Amino acid sequence: MYSKISDFVGAYTHESQTTARVLDALTDASLGQEKTEGDWTAGTHAWHIASTPYQITNQFGTEIAAVDKPETLTAKGCADEYRRSSAAVIDAIRAKYTDADLSTEVSAFNYPMPLGVWLNMIVNHEVHHRGQLSILMRQAGLSVPSIYGPNKEETAKYVAEQGAAAH
Amino acid sequence: MYNKVDDFVNSYSHESQVTANQLDSLTDTSLNTPKAEGHSSLGQIALHIAQAPIQILNQHGLGVEDKPVPEPLTAKFIADEYRRTSAAVIAGVKEKWNDAQLHDTANIFGMEMPLGKWLSALEKHEVHHRGQLSVLQRQAGLPVPSIYGPNKEQTDAMIAAGTMPGQNNPGGDSSQSAQG
């Protein structure tokens, strides 16, 4: 639950920079990495991350242009679409709502909740799928940029520099 | 950033029920499932989820004791420990800090941010690792309860029943996609 629009904007601006960095680390070859056989791939996750925020806010009445999933998904296509859609969501929320609106119930997918709860859900939903994607990226042999602290390579470098004794 | 203690408590109470539910679906044998060669295992990620809430806020005076980790690690210990730490965080935040104090700077692991931002980071950090865990659970052959919507089995059932939002309008105008 957010009580101020600026709290959502601050949090989502920060998280979306991280998400964009993660998507930038994808390669076309990695998009087919499967969770389990026949299940979502890295590409499915990446496109879902790019599309969901505006699909949710459009349900409350933001009018952000929908973009169809391309026949052939590319890593750059996912990252570009994410940058467009996340910036559009931030702009639309800032333009359309005030702090007082955050306690008003809005309905997305027939599920009514206060707007401030929905906005937090948008952020958490993205963090959830970004976490899933990070596993598939590792399994595809990619490095994953740091998300909430040093990544594996940064940690290893730090430990090497400090010496095992300092640990 | 949380400006109100209640906002954090409401949000984290919801998320921590989802997390506890998910940890309940782990089994002892699944704990050794690796992320990838040389990376953390499912059990290490799950234990990290269970311990992080108090490790973060103990740095700012929460004062909740660590519990020794059993050898070998069990799924039950992880789920019990998570319930203990998440409940301690909710109770501790309510008891120790008021709305105004959420703007006070907290130095945690050498990093300074307002306490309200740390509370948000605590929640998001958990959601991140919970997402990672959900992939490894699937790969270990375990079910994953629904997190932010229907899980795979529920989605398959909705598609079979023709009740999946957007099903009749694939890739179309999302403003209409939930009415299916």
Summarised one tens digit per residue, pLDDT across range B142-156 is 989 888 888 888 888
Are the beta carbons of A55 and B139 separated by less than 8 Å? Answer: no
Q: What is the mean pLDDT of residues B111-117?
A: 96
Residues of B in contact with A155 (CB under 8 A): none
Question: Nearest residue of A to residue B39 by CA position?
Answer: A152
Domains of chain B, with CATH numbers? 5-148 (1.20.120.450)
Measured CA to CA, the distance from residue A154 to residue A19 in angstroms comes to: 18
Contact status, residue B12 vs residue B124, Cβ threshold 8 Å: no
Band of pLDDT at residue B172, cut at 50, 70 and 90: very low
Closest CA to B66 of B47, B51, B49: B51
* Residue among A4, A125, A128 whose CB faces B3 most closely: A4
DSSP letter, residue A41: B
Interface contact B11-A10, CB threshold 8 A: no
- Mean pLDDT in residue range B9-31: 96
What residue of B is the nearest CA neighbor of A70? B171
Residue (of A42, A88, A56, A77) closest to B166 by Cα position: A56
Token pair belonging to B86: 């998440």
Give the distance from residue B55's alpha carbon to the nearest chain A alpha carbon, in angstroms. 14
pLDDT for position A163? 74
Out of B147, B165, B177, name the one closest to residue A128 (CB). B147
Burial letters B109-143, b for 16+ CB under 10 A, else e: eeeeebbbbbbbbbbbbbbbbbbbbbbbbbbbebe
| Residue B36: band (very low, low, confident or very high) from pLDDT cuts 50, 70, 90 | confident
Q: Which residues of chain A have pLDDT under 50?
A: none
Record: fold of A5-166: Four Helix Bundle (Hemerythrin (Met), subunit A) (1.20.120)
* pLDDT score at B159: 85
User: Which ipTM score applies to this complex?
Assistant: 0.92
Residue A32 has what pLDDT?
96
Contact B10 A1 (CB under 8 A): yes
Q: Do B7 and A116 touch (CB under 8 A)?
A: yes
Domain boundaries, chain A: 5-166
**Would you call B65 exposed, middle or buried from its count of C-beta atoms within 10 A (0-12, 13-18, 19+)?**
exposed
In the predicted model, is pLDDT for residue B74 greater than 80?
A: yes
State which residue of chain A sits closest to B152, comparing Cα positions. A39
Sign of the four-CA dihedral A102, A63, A17, B12? positive
In this prediction the pTM is 0.91
Label residues B17-30 b or e (16+ Cβ within 10 Å = b).
Answer: ebbbebbebbeeeb
pLDDT at A164: 58
